[in-house]
Amino acid sequence: MDKLIITGGVSLDGEIRISGAKNAALPILMGALLSDSAVRVGNVPHLHDITTTLELLGRMGVTITVDERSGVVIDPSTLTDTEAAYDLVKTMRASILVLGPLLAKFGTADVSLPGGCAIGSRPVDLHLRGLEQMGAKIKVENGYIRATSGNGLKGAHLMMDQVTVTGTENLMMAATLAKGRTIIENAAREPEVVDLANYLNSMGAEITGMGTSKIIINGVESLGGTQYDILPDRIETGTYLVAAAMTRGKVKLKDTDANQLESVLLKLKEAGADIAVGNDWITLDMHGKRPKAVNIRTAPYPAFPTDMQAQFTALNSVAEGSATIAETVFENRFMHVQEMQRMGADLQIQGNTVLSNGEGRLTAAPVMATDLRASASLVLAALVADGATVVERIYHIDRGYECIEEKLQQLGAKIRRVPSSA
């Protein structure tokens, strides 16, 4: 297992390219199961979660060809098996996204229940309830969700108790091939849901209302091949912007989309960043100043994303002043706080809120992370800490950040990857 060694103290300065969005790529690749013929997906990031997804599809007998320009061709017509096995699902909860497509297209699916997760219990009850309302028969036995759809799924009026991103995606995919109309109320409005809907429409689906809380899907007979490029990763974008703000630096991020990041850019401006945006780029300049602490409350899109909470906790720990960050989407998503405290951060957890008193200084310590965004936040803390920080268990980072050390090096950071035994 690799680790990262980061020597803090460098103000980031330079330009990097933002990769395709992991959280759009996962449902889009799995959504290829709905097609009668091959689809080509472009701007696919090189990430561990993508490899897991391709392995999941490959084991079902789907034919996959990866080309050198971040493109993947998926031909589901060779599928022989409709099972998603525990050994893969346990490493990536988003594997549950094969359930809707398999059921809609092949009438049967056996998907392992995702295991526990470092950021709260994260159940899938809303996915299952929605599919049952569409006529699926679902049993849970031996740790597997065993689902069948008999004569096919039927459109239904679905009222989601809670906003769920992958839940909305699973049900939207299932509904594309159901008989009749499905309405998803209280749907997730995240850009990744919109990207998935646009992709499915390019395959012949009839989806409207994506990006609002009411998505309407008119079921069609079949879906066909398409070529589709994945949207830029807003969380990767936000992470590098926070890195630049914390280090009092100046960066230009290319191939990204500022429109998806309004709530994050607003908080960065409040922290004192000078931000400019263009069609496909964002620049941030701190003019050498220390950031100011910002109050945050996470909530579903378009509010502030939970996937940026850990990074802003790192920012607040070196910023001027006191602030609070409230986490309302996931319970138990403060695992990074204890690690930052070990680096000298003045942070306190009270219920679902973390209070910060900017110390201005962090010191290097060996740290390790328990989830993807927590790992990223420790890398950010290390960038401003005195001394060399060792971040362990970085396989979490490789699940979601393409070439993180190369990109940070390009911005001037002193960071290197070494095998854990070194």
Kindly tell me which of 45 and 358 has the beta carbon lying closer to ligand UD1. 45
Give min distance, CB of 93 to ligand UD1, in A.
Answer: 6
The number of residues making up the chain comes to: 422
Among the candidate windows 60-68, 159-167, 195-203, 343-351, which touches ligand UD1 by CB under 6 A?
159-167
- Touching ligand UD1, residues 307-346 (CB under 6 A): 307, 329-330
Among the candidate windows 163-171, 199-207, 214-222, 253-261, which touches ligand UD1 by CB under 6 A?
163-171
Number of residues that bind ligand UD1 (CB under 6 A): 21
Among the candidate windows 80-88, 123-131, 197-205, 239-247, which touches ligand UD1 by CB under 6 A?
123-131
3-state helix, strand, coil in the chain (%, to 5): 35, 30, 35
Gap between the Cα atoms of 402 and 397, Å rounded: 9
Q: 151: buried, middle or exposed (CB in 10 Å: 19+, 13-18, 0-12)?
A: exposed
Kindly tell me which of 40 and 127 has the beta carbon lying closer to ligand UD1. 127
Query: Among residues 21, 12, 142, 2, which one has the least CA distance to residue 408?
Result: 12
Catalytic one among 10, 88, 117, 388? 117
162 is a contact residue toward ligand UD1 (CB under 6 A): yes
Q: CA torsion sign, 337 to 415 to 258 to 294?
A: positive
Rounded to whole angstroms, the maximal C-alpha distance in the chain is 64
Give min distance, CB of 43 to ligand UD1, in A.
Answer: 17
| Count of CA atoms in the C-beta half-sphere (13 A) of 49 | 28
Query: Among residues 390, 323, 336, 395, which one has the least CA distance to residue 363?
Result: 390
DSSP string, 64-91: EEEETTTEEEEEGGG----EE-HHHHTT
Give min distance, CB of 278 to ligand UD1, in A.
Answer: 27
CA R_g for the chain: 21
Kindly tell me which of 115 and 366 has the beta carbon lying closer to ligand UD1. 115
Give min distance, CB of 22 to ligand UD1, in A.
Answer: 7
Q: Site map for ligand UD1, 249-288, x if CB under 6 A?
A: ----------------------------------------
Q: Which two tokens stand for residue 293?
A: 């602490």
Gap between the Cα atoms of 31 and 27, Å rounded: 6
194 is a contact residue toward ligand UD1 (CB under 6 A): no
160 is a contact residue toward ligand UD1 (CB under 6 A): no
Gap between the Cα atoms of 58 and 41, Å rounded: 16
Kindly tell me which of 298 and 317 has the beta carbon lying closer to ligand UD1. 298
- Contact pick of 17, 90, 122, 254 for ligand UD1 (by CB under 6 A): 122
Among the candidate windows 7-15, 164-172, 259-267, 354-362, which touches ligand UD1 by CB under 6 A?
164-172
199 is a contact residue toward ligand UD1 (CB under 6 A): no
Sequence-distant (6+) residues with CB within 8 A of 109 are 82, 83, 84, 98, 99, 102, 103, 145, 146, 147
Gap between the Cα atoms of 379 and 358, Å rounded: 18
- Among this protein's residues, is 117 annotated catalytic? yes
Give min distance, CB of 113 to ligand UD1, in A.
Answer: 12
78 is a contact residue toward ligand UD1 (CB under 6 A): no
Active site residues: 117
Chain positions contacting ligand UD1, by CB under 6 A: 23, 26, 93-94, 120, 122-127, 162, 164-167, 192, 306-307, 329-330
